[in-house]
Chains A and B, each alone.
Chain A
Amino acid sequence: MDNNWPLWEIFVRSKNGLEHRHFGSLHAADEEMALENARDVYTRRNEGVSIWVVKSSNITASNPENNGELFEPAQDKVYRHPTFYKLPDDVKHM
């Protein structure tokens, strides 16, 4: 049965104010069923206040073969991280 169902990526917002995060994926026939399935699979232990479902085929992903040209040039450029500033104690979630 689920061989015929497309794959959906599930994003859950665990608390108001936080962003939706990728929780996993599941099979469903359409977006309504994907929402209900996501509710049962990912939020039954009180994990969420909001769910987004996106058909996996609608996501364009980078190709791991291109990791060299995409990501490696950034590896020796530590100065692009703002790590050389002193952070006041009051600032959280940085």
Chain B
Amino acid sequence: MKSEHLYNYILGIADNSLILGQRLGELCGHGPSLETDIAGTNISLDLIGQTRSYYQYAAKISGENKTEDDIAFLRLERHYKNVLLVEQPNTHFGFVMGRQYLFDVFHLLLLKELQSSKDETLAAIAKKGIKEVSYHKRFSGDWVKRLGDGTPQSAAKMQEAIHDLWPYTQELFDMTDADTAMALEGVGVDVSKLKKA
């Protein structure tokens, strides 16, 4: 394999989008209204679409004759590298929007940095994803504000969701071995620096 670290680095980014995309996909047909249902499923499809680009690239450098589907589906659960935030189960709509917003803010910061990666493929995937993720953040952020400013019940539920989700945000900024190695080479992003942003 060309680079074990690069392979793991790509999966570290892509698995977050895959798992969050799947979580949102579970809600297809179950949204609180037709309009929000379509919006959530749109975001899910955006994320899974981005995941495909990453996995296709990972499959290419794996040197093992793998396909994107092998990487997406043929792993045991412990081999997925996603952060715990994105796999938190869907409970209520406010929770789903809170989870989305916390991830979207991080995701946008990450992609903005990643577009200056020395790795041209990663830079191109990041560049393409930024517009999608900007909209995700706008949508989820509007809902967090809307529910927070809404009725006492919606504000309490939103506050509780953020309270429950917040401890999972620290992990977004933890550097894995692959993160450290790739950041040193100018390929990856030093996520520990994003925390201040």
Tell me the A residues contacting B by CB distance below 8 Å.
1-2, 5, 26-29, 32-33, 36-37, 39-41, 44
Contact = CB atoms under 8 A, between A and B. Distances in A.
Contacts of A5: 33
Interface residues of B, number: 13
A1 B33 contact: yes
Interface in B107-161: 135, 138-139, 142, 146
B63 interface: no
A37 B39 contact: yes
A41 B146 contact: no
Contacts of B146: 29, 33
A44 to B, nearest CB: 6
Given A29-B146, A36-B139, A41 B38 contact: yes
Given A1-B32, A27-B33, A44 B142 contact: no
A46 B174 CA distance: 38
B70 to A, nearest CB: 29
A9 to B, nearest CB: 14
Contacts of B35: 2, 26-28, 37, 40-41
B42 interface: yes
A-B pairs with the 7 shortest C-beta distances? A37-B35, A2-B33, A40-B39, A1-B32, A40-B38, A40-B42, A26-B35
